[in-house]
Homo-oligomer: A and B are copies of this chain.
């Protein structure tokens, strides 16, 4: 998705070989028009997958998840990272380790929002080690529903999450795939391949 790649090039900040900061448009400040285009792109890539529900995770997955759901004309559900006092019964849960935050969270979704007949599209902002997506897929499996696909805004292809998910047979669509963050620069997978 060229619009997104150009945004990453102009506004993303490479903090290390591992960390790309995109807080000007994706996960702290959000560019609403870009999110609309991201939603349209996800809808296009999963248009034949009979999606009945989008599942994402708070907080940074909500904006792209909501826009994908809007375009697909289905509801979106976001998993919570901590239980709230008013959400205690019939929870589907999974453990997710975040390497960025160096902590393990129990993520949870009310069982009533994912039905066994659902065809679920999982959406998240980043894919690195794949732990969040795997946790969401685990929740879908526990509900008896089907994970029809996984849509990622930015995949760090030099980490193993993408391969892990694809090896498990999931259809993974990433709107920008980053081959490397070396030398303070984001290099995209398709553009790196052209050079090779």
**Contact of A30 with B69 in the complex, beta carbons under 8 Å:** yes
B19, B80, B101: the one contacting A59 at CB < 8 Å is B80
**Contact of B77 with A19 in the complex, beta carbons under 8 Å:** no
**Contact of A23 with B87 in the complex, beta carbons under 8 Å:** yes
A133 to chain B, nearest CB (A): 18
Q: With a 10 A CB-CB cut-off, give which of A36, A59, A67 has the most chain B CB atoms.
A: A59
Q: Which residues of B contact A75 (CB under 8 A)?
A: 25, 29-32
A36 to B59, CA, bound (A): 19
**Contact of B100 with A84 in the complex, beta carbons under 8 Å:** yes
Question: Is A48's beta carbon under 8 Å from chain B?
Answer: no
A24 to B114, CA, bound (A): 11
Question: Is A15's beta carbon under 8 Å from chain B?
Answer: yes
**Contact of A70 with B32 in the complex, beta carbons under 8 Å:** yes
**Contact of A30 with B77 in the complex, beta carbons under 8 Å:** yes
A121 to chain B, nearest CB (A): 13
**Contact of A86 with B19 in the complex, beta carbons under 8 Å:** yes
